[in-house]
Amino acid sequence: MKNLLVTGGCGFIGANFIRYLLFDSNFSGRVINVDKLTYAGNPENLEGIEEKYTGRYYFVKGDICDAETMGGVFKKYEIDTICHFAAESHVDRSILKPDTFIKTNIEGTFNLLELARFHKDRVVLFHHVSTDEVFGSLGQDGYFTEETPYDPSSPYSASKAASDHLVRAYSRTYGLPITISNCSNNYGPYQFPEKLIPLMLLNALDGKPLPVYGDGKNVRDWLYVKDHCKAVWVIMKKGKRGQTYNIGGNCEMYNIDVVNKLCDVLDAIKPSESGGSRRDLITFVKDRPGHDLRYAMDFSKLENELGWRPDESFETGIEKTIKWYIDNKGWVERVKSGEYLKWIDQQYE
């Protein structure tokens, strides 16, 4: 692994992964970050990296669906390893505009696989980052394993399921060295404020309503983003080629309990001006179509074979997350206002 392509590296998880690679891992090669810089891709997530790691970090503004651009990247940087994060990832947006998800998540993945196949003489790994949502909904008991049949409920999860199948097929048909990871819900620094935890956190700081779908009894398994990054790197280094690994946080919680916990920790760290509890801001709203009841991941394969476990509990992770958002008001305001999008237009017009 000398020239590692990270797709979607300016997004939430991708940026944290690049930071982990350069700051905390034993990786000594080059990182080439390709990002289309849509609304959720923010170069500020990697501010200062290019200057600090001159000769080891490169950024290319590009679309993974653009075969010519991506072909140029593979050739210029002699890509030998791919870690594929780039995806449209918000379920609500996929319900309103599914075509974008089909194009990016399926056609974009296909394009990268074709390039990896063309350069198969030097490609040592194509790692595909996926989601637990491909498995559909669990009942009150049980866990998703690597053998759980796919049963996606939304256009988003269906598009990710399709891309998983493509990656697996390229391994079996063309002998492409691949690994796949299916991960539970992430949270932490740099997450775009359309997702549950940053949305609730920023609304709570502003004294705005905290909209919770249905009765708040949908269950998710929560994982601090740095733990996810560590797991991906362990899989890339030690995982058996052709295999899939589940990544979970061992942290099942009702959505309403997540919001309540967030309110309580925030009240302790930064009390509201009124002195009241931010739980009073919670408002229950109509549930979204096809809302899966419960996700829970069995990551025993990853633990037993590769020795990974999450380091952060929800209590430690949510406190770090809240403090990061409070300490990075400038980032928050630019993201909320869309100012960073204007900066992107000026830099890359």
User: Which amino acid is it at 295?
Assistant: Y
93-110, pLDDT tens digit by residue? 899 899 999 999 999 999
| Active-site position among 35, 44, 88, 132 | 132
Low-confidence ranges of the chain (pLDDT < 50): 349
Give me the pLDDT at residue 293, please.
85
| Active-site position among 57, 143, 156, 170 | 156
State yes or no: is 133 an active-site residue. yes
- 295 φ, ψ (degrees, to nearest 5): -120, 140
State yes or no: is 88 an active-site residue. no
C-alpha to C-alpha distance for 347 and 349, rounded to whole angstroms: 6
Task: Tell me the whole-structure pTM to 2 decimals.
Answer: 0.93
Give me the pLDDT at residue 290, please.
77
Give me the pLDDT at residue 342, please.
66
Give me the pLDDT at residue 339, please.
67
Give me the pLDDT at residue 126, please.
98
236-254, pLDDT tens digit by residue? 999 999 999 999 999 999 9
CATH superfamily of 3-190+222-252+292-313: NAD(P)-binding Rossmann-like Domain (3.40.50.720)
| Active-site position among 80, 133, 227, 292 | 133
Give me the pLDDT at residue 343, please.
54
State yes or no: is 132 an active-site residue. yes
Q: Could you tell me the residue ranges of all domains in the chain? A: 3-190+222-252+292-313
**Percent helix, strand and coil across the chain, each rounded to 5?**
45, 15, 35
Residue 337's region, left for phi above 0, alpha for psi from -120 to 50, else beta, is: alpha
